[in-house]
A and B are shown apart, each in its own frame.
Chain A
Amino acid sequence: GENVEQHPSTLSVQEGDSAVIKCTYSDSASNYFPWYKQELGKRPQLIIDIRSNVGEKKDQRIAVTLNKTAKHFSLHITETQPEDSAVYFCAALYSGAGSYQLTFGKGTKLSVIP
């Protein structure tokens, strides 16, 4: 099955700085990579995603890059704001034998210091 590693587990940045979270996956058949933001006690919310036929995607202050050869994808948040503080999860979609299960990393707790 798929295995997703996520680093770092915690990240503190000053407001206005950039934050980068990195993930690796093991199964080359995985082809969809979403990122979710989860605030304490709330549901995971999709913030950006990328499919395997694209190398980079950007949405305002958030960008994701994918390196299929290295099985590596990263989340970049620029001009961080205190409301960006949350736990961020990367995930990889394994779509084999008719199943579409997401495998998640363990999460990164991002703290943006005002």
Chain B
Amino acid sequence: GAGVSQTPSNKVTEKGKYVELRCDPISGHTALYWYRQSLGQGPEFLIYFQGTGAADDSGLPNDRFFAVRPEGSVSTLKIQRTERGDSAVYLCASSFSGLGTQYFGPGTRLTVL
């Protein structure tokens, strides 16, 4: 079946702008995760959704970052007033349940100029 998909694959924006990154999880997966991966590092946890609710947002770096999953499927990560330090690959993953295997999407490479 189809895996996790993310759009756009690349996003270039200017400092101070607002961006939205989209994630389509595997159909039927109730758990959805966002991670951020900087060059040469492992993915770092941002937020975890179980269904429509954010069960754990402890990894969000500050209040410029926000994510939603209104219908329990597609999720959008929103970043306000982007800064150059936000440049990274943003990865989405989904799993059948919280304890299930997490399958990753291809990521969105965000570049803030």
| A residues lining the B interface (CB < 8 Å) | 4, 6, 32, 34, 36, 42-46, 49, 89, 91, 93, 95, 97-107
Contacts and interface: CB of A to CB of B under 8 A. Distances in A.
Q: Which 4 pairs between the two chains have the least Cβ-Cβ distance? A: A104-B42, A99-B56, A100-B98, A101-B45
B104 A32 contact: no
Interface of B: 4, 31, 33, 35, 40-45, 48, 50, 55-56, 58-59, 91, 95, 98-99, 101-107
A89 B95 CA distance: 18
B103 A46 contact: yes
Contacts of B41: 106-107
Nearest to A51: B99
Secondary structure of the A contact surface, majority rule:
strand
A106 B106 contact: no
